[in-house]
Structure 1
Amino acid sequence: MPSASPQPRRPRSGSRRDEAARLAVLHAADDLLAEHGFGALTVEAIARRAGVAKQTIYRWWPSKVEILLDTLIEDSGKHLPVPTEKPTAESIRGYLRDFARFLTGDPAGKVLLALIAEAQHDPGTAESFHQRYLGPRRDQERDMLARGIDAGEISPVLGPDATIDALVGPIVYRALTGASIPSGLVDALVENLLRPRSI
């Protein structure tokens, strides 16, 4: 699903947030999502789990989707950074393997899958998801591929956007359907789509 691009900032209302309370809300949101799913997740439940007032949450976030997006942006930045060093075929392969593990084993991976699903039938979620997460990450992934091409490490058979879709699409699909993601799948995607330089 590159140089670090700044994440688009969303206007905030209300007073400056207390960092401990902010983190408590983010952790409560992804824990409750993992436990109960997106449909059962409510701001009231997040407030109870985080130990903050519901009104406090609404001062900082307009909806549960925006809370989940903040959780996803923060956690994926820590647990799934797009490589910024000189890319090689192996570092790209490693990123895709990390992506598979993120989707299947990290609570923030469940947040990503839930937002993908919700974006299919809610235009507001889709717009915010693309603007705040998918767009910036795709820019980073596109830059990673471009630098790999410039370094002579890879020779993709498709254009940059189609290559990204073809690499991450099967991984996301298997995670969405609850299937395991074998390492051989990542290897096949890299070998067939990126045509790594022979050593």
Structure 2
Amino acid sequence: MSAKNIVYFDLETQRSFNDVGGSAHKDKMGISVGVTYSTGSGEYRIYGESEVNALVDELVRADLVVGWNHVEFDYPVLQGYTIYDLPNQTVNLDMMLALQELLGFRLKLDAAAKGSLGGEGKTADGLDALRWWQEYKKTGSKEPLMKIAEYCAYDVKVTKCVHEFAVENGHLKYHDRGGQLQEVAVDWK
């Protein structure tokens, strides 16, 4: 891989689609935690809502932003905070959208991770993160916020590992709905 700065990215929200009147209102969902991993710095960064401008700056400065459904989900959530047109002012590899184009359906990160990384998958889901956010708002305890950050950071790590597997091998593996291991060729170098 070249020396360019790849930023792997994910975020969790404060509110669900139901809370904001549907998926057309992602900009009203609010960010609870955003996490990046930069190949330039070799570090993970955790951003709270008050640090969204720094998160957006990191994404805009990246040579490539890699995520899983970040163009159609995470960026619209961030649009509630910024004047940047993130999909058009960043260079992106949205692995889910790229695979959807190849396969004709949306693949879950968990399916690609378990297939490609030998059983390693996600540790929780977005509903858990929403529950933890509500717990944080109710109690003021930092512990639920730390759970969100840990979950989100792990998703970034899984996203990074899936991307690196694809770059190294020229393909991804995933389990189809019938549980069979499948393989799809990708050129993400």
Larger RCO, structure (CA 8 Å, separation 6 or more): 1
* TM-score normalised per structure 2: 0.27
Higher fraction of strand: 2
